[in-house]
Structure 1
Amino acid sequence: MAYRSLSEFLARLEGAGELVRVKEPVDPVLEMAALADRAAKQGGPALLFEKPTRGALPVAMNLFGTRRRTSWAFSCDDFEERAEELRALLKTAPPQGLWEKLKLLPKLGRLATLTPKHHADGPCQEIVEREPDLGALPVLTTWPHDGGPFITLPQVVTRDPETGLRNVGMYRLQVLGPRRLAMHWQLHKTATAHYRAYKARGERMPVAIALGGDPTLTYAASAPLPPGVDEYLFAGFLRGEGVPLAKCVTVPLEVPAEADLVIEGFVDTSAPLVREGPFGDHTGYYSLADDYPALDVTCITRRRDAVYPATVVGPPPVEDVWLGKATERLFLPMLQMVFPEVVDMAFPPEGVFHNLCFISMRKEYPGHAKKLMHGMWGSGQMANTKTLVVFDDDVDVQDTPQAAWRAFANVDVKRDLVVVDGPVDALDHASPHFAFGSKIGIDATRKWVEEGGREWPEPCVHPPEVVARMDALYDRLVPGAAPLRRMKLAVPPAASWTPKKGSIL
C-alpha cells in the first residue's frame, strides 16, 4: 500500500519499533549527523528529531538504514519482490497478434494505473510562503569542513526545454542565503544537460525541489534510470499506484502532491556560477569546492504537518548502503536484458557504489569475461565503475569474503587485468583529471586452455548429502546457531577448459 505522506511511513516504523523519537534538543549543525551516523553504522532505528535547535520542522533521518525499512519504503516485505515483478514485465514479449494482445491486457491495464495523476494542487501546498526564508528550515551541516548547510534528500525536478521530458534527480543543494541555493549538477547528470539547453536558448531555467512524501519518491530520484524513463512513473511501479502530481505555484513544473515540502525557483543561466562546497560526500572524503549554477528561490510550500527528511553520507557503511543495494537488485533484471550471461552482481559497501562491482557470469567462450567488461563500461552509469571483477557462475558475489578469496586465487596479474581510460565518477578524487581517468577489469574466472590456462583445480566442496545430514546434527548440538553461507557447487562451464591431450602445461 502506498504512503500518503512521510508521516504515514514514520507511523508504520514506530508501530514496528523501528523509530525512535528524539525529544532532547539537537543541533542540525553536526549533532544530528553524528547521531544518525552511529545509528546507520550499527543497523539502528530511524530517528525523528522533534526539537531541532534551528528551524521549525521535525527532522527524520536513517529512514532507509536497514534492508527491512528500505523494503517497507517500497510497500513490500523485501525489495527482491519488486525486482521479480520488474523481471516479469521485462520478459513480456511484444504482442504479435490479437490473441497475444488480449492476453497482455491485464498487465497493460495494471501499468496504466501506475502513471502519474495530474491535479491542480495538493497537500504539499497547504501553506504557501511567497516571501520564503531557507533559514527557517532545519537544513543540516553534516561534517565540520562542509561549506555550509546542505539539503541531502531532495527530488530535484527539471524539464528538457526541447522535448519537455521531466527529470527527477537527487543532487545535493547548498544553502547560500535566505533565497539562494547552489545546484550541484555534475558533468554527466541529466539536469546539467537541461541547464546547457536553457543556456543555449538564453532562457532562465525553472526548478522545483520536493522533499518527503512517499519514500519511494525519494528513492526514485536516486535511481539510475535509462534516459527518457520518468522517475515518477518508476515510483508508481514501486508503490503500486500512480504518483499524484500538483502544479507548482511559481514555476511551470509539477511535483508530488503529497510531498512534505517544495522549494520553487529559477536558475539564471546568464549569471556567473557560484562557489559550492566542500562537502563530506558518500565516498567518505570531502568533495572539493567548485563552481555551479545558483537557484533563486521564488516560493516555498509545505504541508501543515511537514517533516523534513535528511541523510548523512560519509565513510561506509551509512544509510545509502541500502539504497544502493535496492538499486543493485532492481536494476539487475534490466542489465540481464542486455547481457543475458550475467547471473548476479554486487556492489560491496566498501566500494561506495562506483569503485567496485562484482559480476558472476555464465562463461561460454574464451575471452567472454573481457567482452563483458567492455560492454558494461559502455552501459549507462556502469561507465563510472572503477573496478569490475568478473567471476564464474559458481561464485556467490553477495558473499564478499568468498569473492575476494576466489579473485585472489584465480588471477594472474599479467594475463587477467584490463586497464582502460574513460569517464569516471565526478566525485573520484583519485583520478588525475576531473571526471576522466582509468578503470580496471579483473578476470577472476577459470581460464580455458585457449586463454593460457593450465589444468584448473576445483575448489573444495563437501558433498551436498553429507552437508544436509551434518547441518541437521550441528543444529541439534548448537541450538540457535546462525545458518552458514556455503559456496555453490563448482560446475565446469565447458569441456574446452580441460587441457588438451598432449599439451605442455
Structure 2
Amino acid sequence: MAYKNQQEFIEAIEKAGELVRVKAYVDPKLEMAEITDRMSKEPGGGKAILFENTGYDFPVLMNAYGSEKRMCLALGVNELDDVARDIENLFKLLSAPKEGIIEKLKLLPKLGEFASWMPKVKKGRGACQEVVYTEKPLPSGGEWGGPPDITKLPVITCWPQDGGPFITLPIINTKDPNNHIRNVGMYRMQVFGPQLTAMHWHKHKVSAKHFNEYKKLDKKMPVAVALGGDPVYAYSATAPLPENVDEYMLAGFLRKKKVELVKCITQPEIEVPADADFVIEGYVDPNDEMLWEGPFGDHTGYYSLPDWYPKFHITAITHKKNPVYPATIVGIPPQEDAWLGKATERIFLAPIKMTLVPEIEDMEMPVEGVFHNLVITKIRKDYAGQGQKVMNAMWGAGQMMFNKILVLVSQTADGSALKLGDYKACAREIFKNLNPATDVSFSQGPMDVLDHSCSKMGFGGKMCIDGTLKFEEETADDYLPLMGETGVDFAGLLTGRFREITGVNDALPKEQIPCLVVSVKKDRKGHIKELHREVAALPGMELIKMILYVEHTVNASDLALALWRFCNNLDPVRDHLLAPTAKDGYQCMGLDGTIKTKAFDNFQRDWPNIIVADDATIKVVDEKWGSLGIGPFISSPSLKYKNQMYGQAAVAATE
C-alpha cells in the first residue's frame, strides 16, 4: 500500500495502537535517544514515539520501524514473507517457458504492473518544497525562509561519546556522472555547522563509487538528502540491491504505486520524492580536505572510530508545511534496525534462492549477530560438498560478502521439520552433524568497515560451520559422534582448575548441544590459546565440540549478551584453535571472542568501547519519566552494561 506521506503513516500506526505521543519537553541531545532505547528494548519492540515538544519548530518521530507489526504496516503487508512470495511468483512467471501466444499474452498485465512501479519525475514543485531556505529568495514558488541552516532542525545526538549530532535516517540521492543512473543509500551525517555536514559513505558503497567518478572529472558532486515521506523510501535506501537497480523501483514495487519525484531547486540534476518531509540539497567537492568524523555509537553496539570523510556543503533546505523530522538510534541490540534487517532477511530470501543459490530453503540473521556477523542458512542438501558450494556462493553475493560466521543446516535424517527460529533445535541438529576437525571452513575477504575485530580495517577472517547432514564421502572413517547426557560438571571442572576462568555457561550440553561459553580474564600473550589446549585435554572434554571464550566482564550465563559480544570481537581466522582432546581422533574447536589488545594480542588498531548512556542523562530521564505519558517506568538498558564498559577501560589501561 502507498502512503500519501509520512503523516498518513503516523496516523496508521497510531490507529493500530503502535504510537505514543510525548507532549512534555524532551531534549534532542541524548534524552530522546535514551527514552527510545528503553522503549525499543521492550518485548516486541515497544511503541513508536512522536516527540511533540522538541525545542525546535518540528516534532521528531522515532522507533517508527521498531516492531514486526509496524514494519508490516510500513510495507503494506500482513506479514513480511508476503513480499518474498510476491517476488518469488514474479520470478517464476518471468522464467517459465512461453512457447505459445497465450503464454506470452499472460505477461502483458504484469508488464503493465512493471510500468506502474517505475519512478516518474513530475514537472513543477512537490510538497517537499512548500517552504524553501536558500541564500536568496527564488524568483517564483515556495515560501522563502532565509538561508539554509541545518542547526534549526532537531538533529539528535544519540550517545555521550558521539562526535556531535547526527542525521540518522537520511535518504541520500546521488547519480553516476557518466551514465546518470541513480543510487539511493543511507549513510549517517554528522552536523558540523549551519551549512556543513560529513558524508559517511564507506568505500564499498555505490555513492562512494559515484564520488570517485566525480573526482576523475574534477567536478562537484550534487547530492540531495530526503527525510520522511512514504516509509518505504527509508527501507528501500537500506536494501541490499544490486548496483544500477533503482531503489525507487523497489519502493514502487513495495507500495504498488510509482514514486513521484521532483527536481531539486539548487541541484537540479538530482530528483527527490515529492512527498518527503524535508530535503537537504548540496554538493561534495572532490578538491575539499576531508573532515575528521565520528565517533558514533553504531549498530554493532560499539562506537565506530573516527575517520576522514568528505564534506557535504548545504545549498538549500526545503520542507513541506507541518513536517515531522524522522530519526533513529542504533546501539546494543535489539534496536529498531533489527526490524529493518528482518524485513531484508525475508524480502531478499526469494531473489537469492531464485538467482544464486536455489538449494536455500530459509535464512535467519539473529539480532545478536548484528546483521553481517552471524547468518544461519537452511539448505536442501542432495550431494557431498554442497555446503561448501553454498558457502562460496553466499560469500560472493552482494552484501553477504561482509558475513563473518555462516552456519549451515539441512534437512534432518528422519525428515522432521526444522524451523530456523527454534535456535535450540537448530543447534542440536548442527552439532549432531558437526566434526570440528573437518566441518569448519575458514576464509578471508572483505568485511564491514565497522567490524573492529579485524586486524586490518575492512579485511578479515570468515568462518563457515557446516552442520548439514553428512554423506559418506564427507565423513572421516574413524569419527563417531559422541552424544547423549555427559554426566560431567563442566562448570565445576573448569572454574575449580583455572583461576582465570570467571564463569562457565554449561546449559547447552544439558540440551544435547556440545558447546560451552567461558568467561576468561586474560593476563598474558597467547593466554586463550594456551588455556584452550589445557582445557581440551581434560578428561570428559571429548564430549564438547566447541568452546566460545568471552571477556571476564561478560556474564557467560546470559547467552544472548555473550553471543553478541563474542560475534563482535572475533576474527575467525586469527582467533581459532583446534586442540586435541584426551580421546584419540576427537578435537575441540576454541574461538577467542575476547577483547584484543596490543599488550596481549599484538592488536594494532584502537579497540572501541560499547555504547551506554551517561549517568546524567539516565538521571534526567528517570526524573521526567512520569511526565512523558508513555506507560510504566522502564529502567535504562545501559545499567546492565556499565561494568562491561569499565572492564574494557581497565584492559586498555594495562597496555
**Is the structural similarity TM-score above 0.5?**
yes
Q: Does 1:46 align with 2:35?
A: no
For structure 1, the 5+ residue unaligned runs are 461-505
Whose Rg is larger?
Answer: 2
Q: Does 2:124 correspond to 1:123?
A: no
Instruction: Give the Å deviation of 1:98.
Output: 3.5
For the residues of structure 1 that align with 2:128 and 2:231, how far apart are their CA atoms? Answer: 15
1:331 to 328, 339, 348: 348
Counterpart AA for 2:126: G
The equivalent of 2:212 in structure 1 is: 196
Cα offset, 1:374, TM superposition: 1.0
Matched residue, 2:328:
311
What is the aligned partner in structure 2 of residue 32 from structure 1? 32
Rounded to whole Å, the distance in 2 between the matches of 1:204 and 1:132 is 19
Query: What per-residue deviation string (whole Å, max 9, x for no partner) do you get for residues 327-354 of structure 1?
Result: 0010001100111111100100000000
Shift of 1:227: 1.3
- 1:168 aligned onto 2:172: no
1:85-116 CA distances to partner (integer Å, 9 max, x unpaired)? 11111112355553332110111111211111
Which residue type is aligned with residue 113 of structure 1? Answer: S
2:22, 2:52 within 8 Å by CA — same for their partners in 1?
A: yes
What's the counterpart of residue 5 of structure 1?
Answer: 5
* Residue matched to 2:427: 404
String of CA shifts for 1:370-429, please: whole Å, max 9, x gaps.
111011111111110000001013432222232233333332211011110110111100
The aligned amino acid for 1:268 is D
Report whether the alignment pairs 1:414 with 2:437: yes
Q: Which residue of 2 aligns with 1:469?
A: none
Shift of 1:145: 0.2
Q: Does the aligned pair in 2 maintain the 1:132–1:297 contact within 8 Å?
A: yes
Quick one: which of 449, 458, 463 aligns to 1:440? Answer: 463
> Contact between 1:358 and 1:390, CA under 8 Å: does it hold in 2?
yes
Mapping of residues 218-297 of structure 1, within 5 Å: 218-251=234-267, 252-297=269-314
SS of 2:49's equivalent in the other structure is: strand
Q: For residues 243 and 449 of structure 1, do their structure 2 counterparts lie closer, same or farther at Cα, with a shift above 3 Å needed?
A: same
Aligned to 1:92: 93
Alpha-carbon distance in structure 1 between the residues aligned to 2:113 and 2:262: 23
- Matching of residue 112 in structure 1 with residue 135 in structure 2: no
Q: CA deviation at 1:436?
A: 0.4
- Aligned to 2:234, the other structure's residue is in SS state helix
Is the Cα contact below 8 Å between 1:28 and 1:52 reproduced in 2? yes
Q: How far has the Cα of 1:196 moved from its partner? A: 0.3
Deviation at 1:187, TM superposition (A): 1.3
> Residues 368-383 of structure 1 correspond to what in structure 2 (within 5 A)?
368-383=386-401
8 Å Cα contact 1:47/1:60 also seen in 2 = yes
* TM-score normalized with structure 1 length: 0.89
Alpha-carbon shift at residue 431 of structure 1 (Å): 0.5
Moved more, 220-229 or 444-453: 444-453
Secondary structure of the residue aligned to 2:450 is coil
SS of 1:193's partner is helix
Equivalent position amino acid for 1:350 in 2: E
Contact 2:411 2:469 in 1 (8 A): no
Letter in structure 2 aligned against 1:24? A
Report how far residue 269 of structure 1 moved: 0.7
Q: Which residue of 1 aligns with 2:379?
A: 361
The 1-side partners of 2:126 and 2:283 are apart by 22
Q: Which range moved further: 77-86 or 228-237?
A: 77-86
AA in 1 matched with 2:400: M
Q: Is 2:450 the counterpart of 1:427?
A: yes
- Quote the Cα distance in structure 2 between the aligned partners of 1:136 and 1:97: 62
Write out per-residue CA displacement over residues 425-468 of structure 1, whole angstroms, 9 at most, x where no aligned residue.
111000010100110011011222111157989x99xxxxxxxx
Provide the rounded CA distance (Å) in 2 between the counterparts of 1:385 and 1:237.
27
Note the alpha carbon deviations across 1:114-159, whole angstroms, 9 max, x for none: 1112112210001011111111000011010000000111100000
CA distance in 1: counterparts of 2:48 and 2:87, whole angstroms: 28
Q: Provide the residue aligned with 1:21 in structure 2.
A: 21
Matches within 5 A, 1:64-103: 64-94=65-95, 95=98, 98-103=101-106
The equivalent of 1:341 in structure 2 is 359
Q: Secondary structure at the match of 1:112?
A: helix
What amino acid does structure 2 have at the position aligned with 1:36? Answer: T
Distance 1:312 1:226 in 2: 26
- Counting matched residue pairs gives 461
Q: Give the distance between the partners of 1:25 and 1:63, measured in 2 at CA.
A: 20
Provide the C-alpha distance between the structure 2 equivalents of 1:18 and 1:239, rounded to a whole number of angstroms.
20
Structure 2 CA distance for partners of 1:296 and 1:97, relative to 1, 3 Å: farther
In the alignment, is residue 206 of structure 1 matched against residue 222 of structure 2? yes
SS in 1 for 2:437: helix
Quick one: distance in 2 between partners of 1:408 and 1:144?
42
Asked if structure 2 preserves the Cα contact closer than 8 Å seen for 1:348 and 1:400, the reply is no
Q: Secondary structure of the residue that 1:333 maps to in structure 2?
A: helix
- Cα distance in 2 for partners of 1:268, 1:350 equals 39
The question of 1:320 aligning with 2:326 is answered: no
**Aligned-CA RMSD value:** 1.8
Cα deviation for residue 13 of structure 1 reads 1.1
Counterpart residue number, 2:198: 182
- Partner Cα separation in structure 2 for residue 96 and residue 424 of structure 1: 45
Give the aligned residue type for 1:397.
Answer: L
Which deviations, in whole Å up to 9, do the C-alpha atoms of 1:248-277 show, x marking residues without a partner?
001010000000000000101111111110
2 CA distance for matches of 1:329 and 1:58?
A: 32
